[in-house]
């Protein structure tokens, strides 16, 4: 172990541990690991004040590869472990690394409640739409009808969509990015890290062993311009390759329109991350391939007091209004009587 000194600007590689990375060759997780390290060095945070907490699954090996404090906990419980870490020491930068099964299946409850409490932690959900570590069963984000080892005739489970769930749980920061677009990945991670409050990031991540090509529509050179839409705050929702297209609101529903002729950018739906009301973010989270391009970027970013901030505030207020915190005082509370 080497000691950090505050004056040294850490490089991305300084955030790597001495452990061999054991994800399958070609796994999307490598790109995410590399961008997380890069972003941490950009942010100028220290290794000793950073904690990575994970659950179980391929993604949850993540903490071992970071030279920070790390906790590889149990299946689905990472948000709860992270809550304990953050409440015990709010000064720490806490990251949760989870997957679609870990966060939304076995850990669904903890995922919801960590989000609604608005702890200042970052949750990165590596969504590969499959159970990888257990070798290829369908996950809660696998498409309906998905044929896997545990669903040879096609899955009859309807999927759920992580961003919709997070928005429903009152998340204050919600974003989506994709493993192969490393620049965008870094941008979103940095935004997430800088947000004060819960930051939820869904990362489309290719499992090249059990679900290869699941996001090919969003990454292929020929298709990505028509299947993804990169969000920019206060800008119209535009996308498209050769033909420039946009999203327009028709009543309560989004529709794809081609720009040019009668339709100008002013007719389109404009993005606004900071709307207090989450309906726009939710609407965006419901745009799925192939009917719509899938939005990438920051869906929602609003301010709200954090859980641990308010908890500590209550303690500070109590200490101020009731300064005598001696054990004598505690023990002598209530009705006492003396026996001579």
Residue (275 or 315) nearer to other proteins, CB: 315
Binding of other proteins by 41 (CB under 8 A)? no
Residue ranges in 210-239 that form contacts with other proteins under rule CB under 8 A:
none
Binding segment for other proteins (CB under 8 A), chosen from 23-31, 42-50, 143-151, 290-298, is: 42-50
Which one of 92, 97, 203, 229 is in contact with other proteins (CB under 8 A)? 92
Residue (56 or 281) nearer to other proteins, CB: 56
CA distance linking residue 168 with residue 148, whole number of Å: 29
Binding segment for other proteins (CB under 8 A), chosen from 33-41, 62-70, 183-191, 264-272, is: 62-70
Binding of other proteins by 72 (CB under 8 A)? yes
Which one of 30, 47, 168, 249 is in contact with other proteins (CB under 8 A)? 47
Binding of other proteins by 12 (CB under 8 A)? no
Which one of 36, 82, 123, 165 is in contact with other proteins (CB under 8 A)? 82
Residue (4 or 232) nearer to other proteins, CB: 4
What is the sign of the dihedral through the CA atoms of 69, 74, 79 and 84?
A: negative
Measured from the Cβ of residue 101, the count of other Cβ atoms closer than 10 Å reads 30
Residues 6+ apart with CB under 8 A from 68: 15, 47, 48, 50, 51, 52
Binding of other proteins by 9 (CB under 8 A)? no
CA distance linking residue 148 with residue 298, whole number of Å: 32
- 13: tokens are 């590689």
Binding segment for other proteins (CB under 8 A), chosen from 32-40, 140-148, 175-183, 308-316, is: 308-316
Q: How far is CA 269 from CA 3, 184, 248, 272, in A?
A: 51, 22, 5, 10
What is the sign of the dihedral through the CA atoms of 109, 115, 117 and 120?
A: positive
The nearest distance, CB 82 to other proteins, in angstroms, is 6
Give the distance, in angstroms, between the CA of residue 303 and the centroid of all CA atoms in the same chain.
17
CA distance linking residue 316 with residue 310, whole number of Å: 10
Do 96 and 122 meet the contact criterion of CB atoms below 8 Å apart?
Answer: yes
Binding of other proteins by 315 (CB under 8 A)? yes
Do 177 and 203 meet the contact criterion of CB atoms below 8 Å apart?
Answer: yes
Binding of other proteins by 43 (CB under 8 A)? no
The nearest distance, CB 40 to other proteins, in angstroms, is 12
Binding of other proteins by 88 (CB under 8 A)? yes
Do 234 and 270 meet the contact criterion of CB atoms below 8 Å apart?
Answer: yes
- 4: tokens are 């950090």
Binding segment for other proteins (CB under 8 A), chosen from 24-32, 104-112, 225-233, 243-251, is: 104-112
Residues 6+ apart with CB under 8 A from 143: 129, 155, 159
The residues binding other proteins (CB under 8 A) are: 1-4, 17, 19, 46-51, 53-54, 56, 63-64, 66-74, 77, 79-89, 91-92, 109-110, 112-113, 311, 314-315, 317-319, 321-323, 325-328, 330-340
């Amino acid at each position: 172990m080497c000691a950090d000194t505050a004056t040294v600007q850490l490089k991305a590689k300084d955030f790597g541990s001495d452990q061999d990375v054991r994800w399958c060759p070609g796994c999307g997780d490598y790109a995410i690991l590399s961008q997380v390290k890069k972003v941490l060095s950009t942010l100028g945070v220290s290794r000793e004040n950073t904690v990575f907490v994970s659950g179980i699954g391929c993604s949850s090996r993540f903490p071992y590869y970071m030279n920070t404090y790390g906790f590889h906990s149990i299946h689905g419980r990472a948000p709860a472990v992270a809550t304990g870490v953050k409440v015990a020491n709010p000064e720490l930068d806490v990251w949760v690394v989870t997957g679609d099964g870990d966060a939304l299946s076995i850990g669904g409850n903890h995922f919801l409640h960590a989000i609604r409490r608005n702890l200042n932690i970052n949750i990165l959900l590596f969504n590969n739409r499959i159970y990888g570590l257990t070798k290829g069963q369908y996950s809660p984000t696998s498409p309906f009808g998905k044929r896997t080892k545990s669903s040879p005739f096609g899955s009859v489970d309807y999927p759920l969509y992580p961003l919709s769930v997070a928005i429903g749980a009152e998340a204050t920061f919600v974003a989506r990015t994709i493993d192969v677009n490393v620049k965008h990945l870094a941008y979103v991670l940095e935004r997430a890290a800088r947000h004060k409050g819960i930051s939820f990031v869904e990362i489309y991540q290719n499992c090249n062993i059990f679900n290869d090509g699941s996001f090919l529509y969003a990454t292929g050179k020929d298709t990505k311009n028509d299947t993804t839409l990169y969000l920019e705050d206060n800008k119209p929702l535009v996308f498209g390759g050769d033909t420039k297209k946009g999203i327009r609101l028709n009543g309560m529903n989004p529709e794809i329109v081609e720009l040019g002729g009668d339709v100008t950018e002013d007719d389109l739906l404009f993005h606004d991350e900071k709307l207090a009301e989450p309906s726009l973010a939710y609407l965006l989270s419901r745009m799925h391939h192939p009917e719509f391009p899938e939005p990438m970027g920051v869906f929602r970013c609003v301010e709200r007091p954090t859980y641990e901030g308010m908890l500590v505030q209550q303690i500070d207020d109590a200490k101020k209004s009731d300064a005598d915190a001696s054990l004598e005082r505690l023990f002598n509370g209530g009705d006492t009587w003396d026996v001579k």
